[in-house]
Structure 1
Amino acid sequence: MPHLIKEWIKECENHHGHDLSILAPRYKHAVEIVLVDVVDKKLVRASSSWRFLTLSYVWGKAALEMTTTANRAARGQQGAFLKLNLPRLISDAMLLVSQLGERYLWVDCLCIEQDNLSQKLSQISQMDVIYSQSLLTLVALSSEDAGSCLPGVRPGTRSFFRAQEYSFDRDIYALYPRLLELSEATVYESRGWTFQQRLLSRRCLFLTECDMYYTCHSSLSRETGANSARGEENVFRDKFKNIFSQCSSCSMPDWPRTFSLYASETFALYASLVHEYSKRDLSDDTDVINAFSGISAVLGHILDSGSVSGLIECVLDNCLLWVPGDSKTHSRNLDFPSWSWAGW
């Protein structure tokens, strides 16, 4: 398993372009972050220019051993995490990073002091940089919470899947579940914070209970036969393409255009993302803007515009024309203005 992942990353680094600075100058620059050193089992002060992986997962109700202002110094000592009862999923992620020959991992509950409001807000405002500049995001797609395993990392953590067989012109083919089918019923795809984490990542490794998928802006590969996911390419483009690739298709730099046309295409992307995001659940309704802030930052920097209460200022007139997307009764979220979709 680690060997195949390393081959995917190597192929991507050598042959697929990922220069995000083309979209906005913001992505030329690194930000200060804290990383988990999986070798020395401690936290280290670092930069997003370092080579590191990120973890995207559902917190759930598992005990997370969060980093706070009180324990931050102790966690900077060598072997600090050996003394803790880390959630199984995070321990598995650290093991996988080590198996890949990498050293650093960014995990929100460990790398942000959870009781330090100023640091927390600063890191939330930089989510687009953190996830986009990481080497790879490990997506715990089938894991219901942090207490679950990361499938495939340790022996016995995968379910056996019997492929359906069908014949065509005397040849027999095996049908394996598609990534879309695997994702639809997961807790991961119902949560608010995970939405932008996946979209902001240049490369994602989706770990499921019966298979493993690798995606970047130009390819989709699966464990059950390298590069055997050709039949899923259209699904990948529609659902699993990262936001930077989607924005690139809006800009079309080889074709002159007016700002209004460019803005209208970017707004259409923004509207579709808000539509999908609004279907998701948050444990804390006050996070509705924070959990979308990375997406807003990307679109805002591309349009050279700020945002207010989740709406992009340069296309504010269009943003104000939102309507509820279903017939459900919408409760008022008093933390945000009524003219924003975030207020409902």
Structure 2
Amino acid sequence: MPSEYNICLYLGPPHKHLSGIGADIYLQFKIGDGMSNMWVGDLHISTSESMEKSPRVVDALITWPRLKDKIEKCCRDHIECQENVRRSLPRGFRVINIPQRRIVETNNVAFASLSYVWGKDTRTSLLTATRATIAGMKREGGLPISEMPRTIEDAMTVCNRLGIDYLWADRLCIVQDDPDDKMYQIMAMDEIYSCALLVLVAAHGDSMDFGIDGVSRARPIIQRHETMTGLQLTNLVRESEGNPSALWHTRGWTYQEAVCARRLLHFTNTRTYFECQTSIFYEDAYNPEAEVDEFSAYGLRLKDEIMDFQAFARHITNYSSRILSYPTDTYNALIGIGNMLYKTKYTESFICGFPKMDFDRALRWYAWDGGKAAERLETPEIVCPTWSWASAMVQREEVRYQDTEFYGTLVVWYTGVVAPASKAEQLEAINMQAKTRVDEEWEIYMALASEEGCFPNAPVSWSSKSYTFGGTRNKFHARWSSYHAFCIDVFLSSEASQRFEDKGVSMKDSERGRILAVAQIAFFRLKERQYGLEILDSENNVIGKLCGDATKMRKEYLSPEHDRNALCEFVSISLSGLHIRSYTGKERETKNYSDATDVSLLTLPIVNLLMIGRREKYAYRKELGWVYLRDWAKANRKWERVILE
């Protein structure tokens, strides 16, 4: 190394489970007049007296006793990891009977599930369950080693090591050319993976015939002991970054499999580690057992996620960053998570990837980069309308959700009904939306929105500015017992119902992912900023912005051909609250509301908007944005029927 570089060891506390201490290795070098440290690894340091008792280093093949003991201890002692799911495996559930090497139908055995990357078939003779082959695979010895995908064969070896006699692997346990069997099993993915005693994760490998590292594939030996001046130094093992064969973390199906599992045994090309609901335990004995980091783990819910939708939004963010080989799987690979979060049948509680009861919350997604224009995907098998996050994911766009409070809808979306809707149909639609859980103080914010003319009729108004926020809340409670009651009254009034009457709407307009509503629309200009675009009023004042970078739209806006005075159409969808930060600026006073006692709101009221384009009588979503409620109230708005596709 150059002489100006030094290696520094920063020593930690003594290890509780292993004699010795840990040390972070830093490369120290000069920058200008100061010094900078760059972390490059970890060491375990022990004295000569404890060398003979030192555990073995991570070798080419897995050392099983420590891992097996930890898994058994988890199954025996961890209350958090005990089975807490409905024991209702799908009809005709199949597993591999490992001792007999055949497929059996059963739903009352302890089994492991395999999570792996399919990739491409490297051998034409590889076994797969089809209508033609399933009968032969059910006979004893019907799964010959010579024709088994190597990864599945290695998973069977792992089960033997751990004393598990049954394994579920989708390729052999789902009849792949039977659409009914395939969909029936897909609808039960949450039960299959949550009921599994253990999920084996082949985290390294690009195909089902790759094998599992440390089982049939020798791992590179990267952990060593070195002795210096009576001390034993052992490097701690880490996963290598940017490994082109580590595809499991990039695939859409594998994300759901990890989230639904109670216990995961990960196999990388450097080591094996066990993850349960409470901790992570490494094959590398020099790495201390650690508590699960909830922000990087695959937990169904985090501790602070008190609402189902908070967890759902996090999973959409993680899931949309992954890749699916087939767009038709976009919804299917998330069904298990949806079932577990909302505890209902997916087909009854979701529409185009949206939970019906949190429909308005779910509309507030945006593409993180926005490098591609919004497009509707429609095939005989699947529809991804522009209003759904699925339309972004199929274009490899990562999806995010706004970090704002949610106070309620400003429009009712009618799905699957033809206007003019009957009272019963309207009630069904409103009931669906009104079940969503709104944030605290929603009454005050919705009362302000009413006062500013954001509803078809004005359910609440004041004749003077003498009201207080507490009085407003009481007034709401006196008239409506809940948010649900408020929505029913507002959107089922005679004036509101009349706005939905349109005899020109046909059955075609209410199918294949199209949704119908009457909403307020307004037109605004856009202005570029460093990242993304801002929204301007008629006097060129900044009143809001588009969410995300909106990269493609920004490039188009900055092109010489673009008319900077062009107006863009926006539809109001819901009311939120923007958190007031130390850097919020003058908006905290100029855009806020106060009551007669000069008490100000704790979040700035904003109107969530969909920026739309038009194709004949249909509208399509282009971007998500927001403007301050005060500025929306000043805009030239009008009510209009919108069919969004």
Calculate the TM-score normalised by the size of structure 2. 0.46
Aligned with 2:368 (options 288, 311, 325): 325
Structure 2 CA distance, aligned partners of 1:163 and 1:329? 48
Any conservation in 2 of the 1:124–1:290 contact (CA below 8 Å)? yes
Structure 1 residue 182: Cα displacement: 8.2
Alignment of 1:219-298 (within 5 A): 219-225=279-285, 228-230=288-290, 233=291, 236-243=293-300, 246=301, 249=303, 262-263=306-307, 266-298=308-340
Alignment of 1:120-159 (within 5 A): 120-154=182-216, 157-159=218-220
2:150 is the alignment partner of 1:88: yes
Equivalent position SS for 1:242: coil
Structure 1 CA distance, aligned partners of 2:280 and 2:244? 18
2:95 alignment partner in structure 1: 35
135-144 or 332-341, which moves further after superposition? Answer: 332-341
Structure 2 CA distance, aligned partners of 1:164 and 1:275? 42
Structure 1 residue 101: Cα displacement: 1.7
User: Which structure is larger by alpha-carbon Rg, 1 or 2?
Assistant: 2
- The CA deviation string for residues 210-251 of structure 1, in whole angstroms up to 9 with x for no partner, is 101100000100001076243xx46x32222431xx26x357
Structure 1 CA distance, aligned partners of 2:385 and 2:328? 12
Q: Which amino acid aligns with 2:294?
A: R
Q: Which amino acid aligns with 2:112?
A: L
1:161 alignment partner in structure 2: 222
Unaligned runs of 5+ in 2: 1-62, 393-645
1:211 alignment partner in structure 2: 271
Structure 1 CA distance, aligned partners of 2:319 and 2:349? 20
Q: Which amino acid aligns with 2:98?
A: V
Structure 2 CA distance, aligned partners of 1:164 and 1:272? 41
Q: Which has the higher strand share?
A: 2
- Tell me: CA distance 1:224–1:83, structure 2 relative to 1, closer, same or farther (3 Å): closer
Structure 1 CA distance, aligned partners of 2:218 and 2:337? 33
Any conservation in 2 of the 1:182–1:208 contact (CA below 8 Å)? no
Any conservation in 2 of the 1:150–1:157 contact (CA below 8 Å)? no
1:105 alignment partner in structure 2: 167
2:180 alignment partner in structure 1: 118
Alignment of 1:56-95 (within 5 A): 56-62=115-121, 63=123, 64-82=126-144, 85-95=147-157
Equivalent position SS for 1:280: coil
Structure 1 residue 342: Cα displacement: 1.2
Structure 1 residue 5: Cα displacement: 2.9
2:398 is the alignment partner of 1:337: no
Alignment of 1:48-59 (within 5 A): 49-59=108-118
Q: Which has the higher helix share?
A: 1
Structure 1 CA distance, aligned partners of 2:97 and 2:299? 27
- Tell me: CA distance 1:306–1:163, structure 2 relative to 1, closer, same or farther (3 Å): farther
- Tell me: CA distance 1:110–1:80, structure 2 relative to 1, closer, same or farther (3 Å): same
Structure 1 residue 323: Cα displacement: 1.0
Any conservation in 2 of the 1:65–1:86 contact (CA below 8 Å)? yes
- The CA deviation string for residues 40-63 of structure 1, in whole angstroms up to 9 with x for no partner, is 11000011x420000000000124
Equivalent position SS for 2:295: helix
Structure 1 residue 162: Cα displacement: 3.9
Structure 1 residue 31: Cα displacement: 3.5
2:523 alignment partner in structure 1: none
Any conservation in 1 of the 2:279–2:289 contact (CA below 8 Å)? no
- Tell me: CA distance 1:303–1:113, structure 2 relative to 1, closer, same or farther (3 Å): closer
1:197 alignment partner in structure 2: 257
Calculate the TM-score normalised by the size of structure 1. 0.83
Structure 1 residue 99: Cα displacement: 2.1
Structure 1 residue 280: Cα displacement: 1.0
Structure 2 CA distance, aligned partners of 1:339 and 1:19? 39
Structure 1 residue 178: Cα displacement: 5.3
- Tell me: CA distance 1:15–1:99, structure 2 relative to 1, closer, same or farther (3 Å): same
Say what the alpha-carbon RMSD is for the aligned residues. Answer: 2.8
Equivalent position SS for 1:55: strand
Structure 1 residue 337: Cα displacement: 2.3
- The CA deviation string for residues 270-329 of structure 1, in whole angstroms up to 9 with x for no partner, is 111101111111111010000111111111218998111111111111001111122321
- The CA deviation string for residues 111-150 of structure 1, in whole angstroms up to 9 with x for no partner, is 0000111110010000000000101111001122112120
- Tell me: CA distance 1:182–1:171, structure 2 relative to 1, closer, same or farther (3 Å): farther
Any conservation in 1 of the 2:87–2:191 contact (CA below 8 Å)? no
Equivalent position SS for 2:129: coil
Structure 1 residue 164: Cα displacement: 11
Any conservation in 2 of the 1:164–1:175 contact (CA below 8 Å)? no
Q: How many residue pairs were aligned? A: 316
- The CA deviation string for residues 87-113 of structure 1, in whole angstroms up to 9 with x for no partner, is 111111111112222110000010000
Structure 1 CA distance, aligned partners of 2:163 and 2:75? 16
Structure 1 CA distance, aligned partners of 2:343 and 2:161? 36
Any conservation in 1 of the 2:95–2:173 contact (CA below 8 Å)? yes
2:396 alignment partner in structure 1: none
- Tell me: CA distance 1:237–1:326, structure 2 relative to 1, closer, same or farther (3 Å): same
